[in-house]
């Protein structure tokens, strides 16, 4: 049965500082990068055929760091979105040492609008704890000037259907390394979680979820790794 593995990136510096990170490109928290070895041990216990990530550095760096352990190959990042990164970033694969990682903004974190970069505690004092919680976890309510989870779903799931479902139907094992809300959108779709219940779904930093499907992409099993 084909497997889908979802990995939320290793904790970033702004996560450590309790900020709304969104589309800001920040590094990983170096105190947390030791988790890469444990993640690699879990991920590479079976063959991974395709990898997808986002252009945000914390996601790509998480991919690079897990490849330092348990795998003799190294990742090459290939951009799927329109532009010169896609057009000029092509290559002829003449090596068995590299693994293609397909990169797209469709897997980026939720855009947090006016509160992007703001400390979460400060935001709760300013706007109220309940409102900030709804901005972070509800399906249809967006932060001011930003995206709701429904907005993230609209950009993430068509990509998932076009690329990842195709790979799974071909029997490939797929790894997605991405940010919290793009992964929550995928979890909502795969598990058919209601708009109301998705507010209760959280994935921890470095969190791993493994799904198994039958040949018709019916979900057969879920594991928290």
Which residues form the catalytic set? 9, 109
**Complete DSSP assignment for the chain:** --EEEEEEPPPBHHHHTTB--TT----B-GGGTTHHHHHHHHHTTS---EEEE-SSHHHHHHHHHHTTSS-S-EEEEEE-SSSHHHHS-------SSEEEEEE-GGGSPPP-GGGTT-BHHHHHHHH-HHHHHHHHH-SS---TTS--HHHHHHHHHHHIIIIIHHHHHTT--EEEEE-HHHHHHHHHHHHT--TTGGGG----TT-EEEEEE-TT--EEEEEE-
């Amino acid at each position: 049965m084909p497997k889908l593995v979802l990995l939320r990136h290793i904790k970033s510096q702004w996560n450590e500082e309790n900020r709304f990170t969104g589309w800001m490109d920040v590094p990983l928290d170096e105190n947390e990068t030791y988790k890469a070895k444990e993640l690699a041990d879990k991920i590479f216990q079976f063959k991974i055929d395709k990898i997808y990530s986002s252009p945000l550095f914390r996601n790509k760096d998480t991919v690079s760091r897990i490849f330092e352990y348990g795998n003799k190959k190294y990742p090459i990042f290939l951009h799927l979105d329109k532009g010169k990164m896609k057009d000029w970033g092509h290559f002829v694969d003449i090596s068995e040492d590299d693994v293609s990682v397909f990169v797209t903004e469709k897997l980026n974190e939720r855009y947090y609008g006016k509160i992007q970069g703001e400390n979460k505690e400060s935001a709760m004092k300013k706007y109220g704890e309940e409102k900030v919680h709804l901005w972070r976890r509800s399906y249809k309510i967006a932060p001011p000037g930003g995206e709701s989870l429904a907005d993230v779903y609209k950009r993430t799931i068509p990509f998932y259907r076009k690329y990842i479902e195709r790979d799974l139907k071909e029997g490939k094992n797929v790894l997605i390394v991405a940010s919290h809300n793009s992964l929550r959108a995928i979890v909502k779709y795969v598990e058919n979680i209601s708009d109301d219940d998705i507010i209760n779904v959280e994935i921890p930093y470095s969190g791993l979820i493994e799904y198994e499907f039958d040949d018709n992409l019916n979900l057969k099993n879920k594991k928290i790794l």
